[in-house]
Amino acid sequence: MVHEDGMTDQRTAEVTIEEFEHLAKDGSGFLDIYNFVTEEIAHGHARMRLEFREHHVRSGGTMAGPSMMALADFAAYAALMGAIGPVQMAVTSSLSINFLRRPEAADMVAEARIVSSTRRLAFSEVDLYSAGETAPIAHITATYAIPKIKA
């Protein structure tokens, strides 16, 4: 999580990449479609990759918006799990994407961070990049609803 002073939270992630990937294989087939690669999970931060494949391309030879949105959503979920631990039923309650420029026909990388959270809601930002580039191609804000955990 990034604090108001711009400093990054240095706490250990509440979930490992292996635990997160096991949690993400929920039987929905979602990962079979996208084949996301989890590159990093930290406390309130995640970096994910969507490998370039023809079925993610729209006319014009660029990554399709729905694939971009899926990557952003999945990266935000990973960042949340890094902050709170494995909670399978945390769900997206809102997601807004601003497409900033045309992505390259290349792998796409998402950098997600939890900006703020309460016991029931987490607010995140995600920047998407074409692999190897430093200027974002999209900026996303997402809110996750965190279920009440029975004691």
Query: How confident is the prediction along the chain (151 residues), in pLDDT tens digits per residue?
Result: 444 544 455 689 999 999 998 888 876 667 777 889 999 999 999 999 999 877 777 777 778 888 999 999 999 999 999 999 998 889 999 999 999 998 888 899 999 999 999 999 999 999 999 999 999 999 999 999 999 874 4
Spatial distance between the Cα atoms of 13 and 15, rounded to a whole number of angstroms? 5
Res 7: pLDDT: 44
- Residue 10: phi and psi, rounded to 5, are -100, 5
Is the torsion defined by CA of 26, 46, 125, 97 positive or negative?
Answer: negative
Residue 32 to residue 97: CA distance in whole angstroms: 23
Is the model's pTM score more than 0.85? yes
Could you tell me the two tokens for 84? Answer: 């709170």
